[in-house]
Amino acid sequence: NAGVTQTPKFQVLKTGQSMTLQCAQDMNHNSMYWYRQDPGMGLRLIYYSASEGTTDKGEVPNGYNVSRLNKREFSLRLESAAPSQTSVYFCASRALDRNEKLFFGSGTQLSVL
Amino acid sequence: AQSVTQPDIHITVSEGASLELRCNYSYGATPYLFWYVQSPGQGLQLLLKYFSGDTLVQGIKGFEAEFKRSQSSFNLRKPSVHWSDAAEYFCAVGPGGGNKLTFGTGTQLKVEL
C-alpha cells in the first residue's frame, strides 16, 4: 500500500526560485492537507482541501499556493522561495468518516538558500 | 483560540521503565484529542484518539491516554517502554472534521538500553 506519496524528498532552492511539491494518495480520501514542520513549533497547517474542487487557507498560507488537481493529487507551490520557507513539508489525507485519522506522507525537506 | 502545550521538549527513560508524556490543551468545547508519533525521517502516525465516552483510551503499540477535563489534560502513558518507542510524540486538538487541528510542539523521547 503506497498511502500518501510525496515528491521530491529533498530539495535545495535559491531565494526567488519557484517549485511545486507534489502529493498523491491512493486511499480515495476526500480531504488533503499541507503542513510545515519547524523545530520547536510542531506542525502548522498551510492549506487544506476538504474535497475535490475546494481549497482553504490554514494557519500559515502566505507565500504558498495550492492546487487540488483531482481527488488523488494536491500540490503545493512556492512562487518565489524565501529562506523563511526552509522547513519540512508534510502532506496528509483523511477519509470523510468518524475516524478522524490523518494519514501522512514521509515529508519533503526543503532548504532555501 | 485552541492551543496545545507539551511542556517536555525531551524525555529520556530506560527501557522497561514506565512513560508519561504530558499534554495540556485549551479549547472552548469538548475537544477531539489525538496523539501522533513520528519516527526519524517519517511522517506522523496516529497512536490514539479521544472524542467522547470512556476517558481512558487505548491505542496502538501498548499506549494509552487519559482525558481529564478538569485539568485540560490528555497525557500519554505506557507501562513498559521498548527501545523502538524512541521517536517524537505530538499531541493535537481540534473541533472534529479534521480541518482545524492544532498540534503541540512535540516531545522527543529517548530510550536508554
B26 Cβ neighbours under 8 A, 6+ residues apart: B1, B2, B3, B4, B5, B72
Q: Is B53 within 8 Å of B63 (Cβ atoms)?
A: no
pLDDT value at position B65?
97
pLDDT at B5 over 80: yes
Find the range with the poorest average confidence among A78-87, B23-32, B74-83.
B23-32
Interface test with B, best of A21, A27, A31, A37 (most B CBs within 10 A): A37
Q: Going by C-beta distance under 8 Å and a sequence separation of 6 or more, which residues neighbour residue A97?
A: none
Q: Strand A108-112 relative to strand A87-94: parallel, antiparallel, unpaired?
A: antiparallel
Chain A from 17 to 56: CB within 8 A of any B CB: 31, 33, 35, 40-45, 48, 50, 56
Which pLDDT band, with edges at 50, 70 and 90, does B98 fall under?
low
Residue B86 near residue B111, CB atoms below 8 Å: yes
| Chain B residues near residue A94 by CB distance under 8 angstroms | 98
Report in angstroms the alpha-carbon separations of A79 from A82, A90, B59: 10, 18, 41
pLDDT top residue among A98 and B76: B76
CB B93 within 8 A of CB B31: yes
| Mean pLDDT for all residues in chain B | 93
The pLDDT profile of chain A, 113 residues, written as one tens digit per residue, is 679 999 999 999 999 999 999 999 999 999 999 999 998 888 999 999 998 989 999 999 999 999 998 999 999 999 999 999 999 999 999 987 777 889 999 999 999 99
Vertex B37, ends B101 and B80: CA angle to 5°?
Answer: 135
